[in-house]
Amino acid sequence: MKAKINIAIDGYSSCGKSTIAKAIAKELHYIYIDTGAMYRAMTLYALQHGYIAADGKVNETALIPALDLVMINFKYNTDTYKYETYLNGHNVEREIRTLQVSNSVSPISAIKEVRQKLVRLQKRMAETKGVVMDGRDIGTVVLPDAELKLFMTADPKIRARRRYEELKSMGVDTSMDDVLRNITQRDLIDTTRAHDPLIQAPDAVVVDNSNLTIEEQYQFVMHKVTQRMAVFSE
């Protein structure tokens, strides 16, 4: 019998973490947890309640005491066959993908108290194994004992093009320059923040998908998954 494992996927923004994570979870009948969506939901909450000023500065003094009022969870949509993000009981899957949220998510993610709250939730979700989780600090902080760790990367301009096309398909009015600027800024904040910065776990498998198709990525990653599952099978 194949034992269930936890799969941690880290990497830079817009490098296809969610796409490959969803595909793996579907193939294995595992639970997919999009931690980036959790931080986006928290950012949306901060925007809705005026905790982020027009200049982008976060009012941490007001936000931190309100964290206990924030509930984030995922529900499976039987029509789309996808897990969707809910913020305090409301489906916010579309709202959290806007450029406005993207421009503010890194400063929110850098707040220690925000990270502590969401990391606790994420660890709890993975306790029973059989989880595919993607984000920025999964293999290093959230699931340091994950049986398989992947670190995904790609050229920033290629990532910006992918993100731009995604936003266009959602009807979001933006430009390539704005998206590239956002990605560059997020990379800087994610890798230099004081609390749980984006770093590659020493035992992570690197996947540079700059010149790989989604199918090529999938085949490569599933080969690694099969290898790791065989090690832990009874």
- Asked if residue 229 is part of any domain, the answer here is no
How far apart are the C-alpha atoms of 19 and 23, rounded to whole Å? 6
- Asked if residue 100 is part of any domain, the answer here is yes
Q: Is the pLDDT of residue 234 over 80?
A: no
- Asked if residue 1 is part of any domain, the answer here is no
How far apart are the C-alpha atoms of 218 and 50, rounded to whole Å? 41
How far apart are the C-alpha atoms of 62 and 164, rounded to whole Å? 33
Banded pLDDT at 231 (limits 50, 70, 90): confident
How far apart are the C-alpha atoms of 66 and 49, rounded to whole Å? 10
For the whole model, what pTM was predicted? 0.82
- Asked if residue 233 is part of any domain, the answer here is no
pLDDT of residue 1: 55
pLDDT digits (tens, 9 = 90+) for 58-98: 999 999 999 999 999 888 888 877 889 999 999 999 999 98
How far apart are the C-alpha atoms of 190 and 17, rounded to whole Å? 15
How far apart are the C-alpha atoms of 33 and 222, rounded to whole Å? 18
pLDDT of residue 152: 95
Measured over the CA atoms of residue 123, residue 127, residue 128 and residue 129, the dihedral's sign is positive
Residues 86, 75: contact at Cβ < 8 Å? yes
Number of domains present in the structure of the chain:
1
- Asked if residue 230 is part of any domain, the answer here is no
pLDDT of residue 75: 87
Measured over the CA atoms of residue 209, residue 211, residue 214 and residue 218, the dihedral's sign is negative
- Asked if residue 126 is part of any domain, the answer here is yes
Query: What is the mean pLDDT of the segment spanning 116-120?
Result: 95
CB atoms within 10 A of CB 73: 15
Domain holding 72, by residue range, is: 6-223
> b vs e for 199-219, b when ≥16 Cβ sit within 10 Å of the residue's Cβ?
bbbeebbebebeeeeeeebbe
- Asked if residue 228 is part of any domain, the answer here is no
CATH of the domain at 76: 3.40.50.300
- Asked if residue 85 is part of any domain, the answer here is yes
Non-local (6+) Cβ contacts of 230 within 8 A are: none
Residues 188, 12: contact at Cβ < 8 Å? no
How far apart are the C-alpha atoms of 217 and 115, rounded to whole Å? 29
How far apart are the C-alpha atoms of 43 and 41, rounded to whole Å? 5
Q: Is 195 left (phi over 0), alpha (psi -120 to 50) or beta?
A: beta
Banded pLDDT at 233 (limits 50, 70, 90): confident
